[in-house]
Amino acid sequence: MIGIINYRAGNLQNLQNALTYLGATSTLLDQPGDLANYSKLILPGVGAFGHAMANLKHYGFIRPIRRAAQENKTLLGICLGMQLLFDFSDEDGGHPGLGLIPGKVTRFDHEGLKIPHMGWNNANFTDSADPLVSDLRPTPWFYFVHSYACHPANPQNQLGVTEYGEPFCSIVKRNSLYGVQFHPEKSQADGLALLHNFIRLEV
């Protein structure tokens, strides 16, 4: 079973529907103590970084998420959920993140670039043998909606790179932590293939 961390920052029904379609059982985790009962967790999210971190703190999820990472539980951050894994975001004057992946989150600022980055774009894998992406086609297309991009301090944590004015990390990995900047549950066949791989990851 997969636990979806529900810290009231996004519509989770599409994600649950996608997991159900793929044959997985998922549960919305409303209480921080519930994380200890799951070996696979998903941290979704839409909206503002600071508000999301405030919600994680308010509902008591920060320490259990960090503990899950220390215990090498498999965790997937989606969209804003990926950004929250990092040390810091400069959104709205700057906010610290969960500090699970060294690096920062910055706003797209290229002249003439439409923000948010919204729509379909592809990802190029830096390690096509990684089990999260191993059987996906070489340059899959995913659906993005975001104004800020992740930049890992260690380039080896970049599993996928996407171009939008500049290259940015669209898939991150550190130990048992993964993050995807796009919405796999809205990315049709390629997104479902990635979620299927997440379901099959050994824990």
Burial of 20 (0-12, 13-18, 19+ CB in 10 A): exposed
Q: Does 183 qualify as catalytic in the annotation?
A: yes
Amino acid at 111: E
Annotated catalytic residue: which of 79, 91, 95, 169? 79
Instruction: Point out which residues pair with 117 in neighbouring strands.
Output: 146
Annotated catalytic residue: which of 71, 185, 196, 202? 185
Residue 172 CA to residue 169 CA, distance in Å, equals 7
Query: Alpha helices of the chain — where are they, by DSSP H?
Result: 13-21, 49-58, 62-70, 80-84, 188-200
Per the omega criterion (within 30 degrees of 0), is the bond before 64 cis? Answer: no
Q: Does 185 qualify as catalytic in the annotation?
A: yes
Annotated catalytic residue: which of 166, 183, 196, 202? 183
CA 140 to the chain's CA centroid: 17
Residue 196 CA to residue 90 CA, distance in Å, equals 33
| Residues noted as catalytic | 79, 183, 185
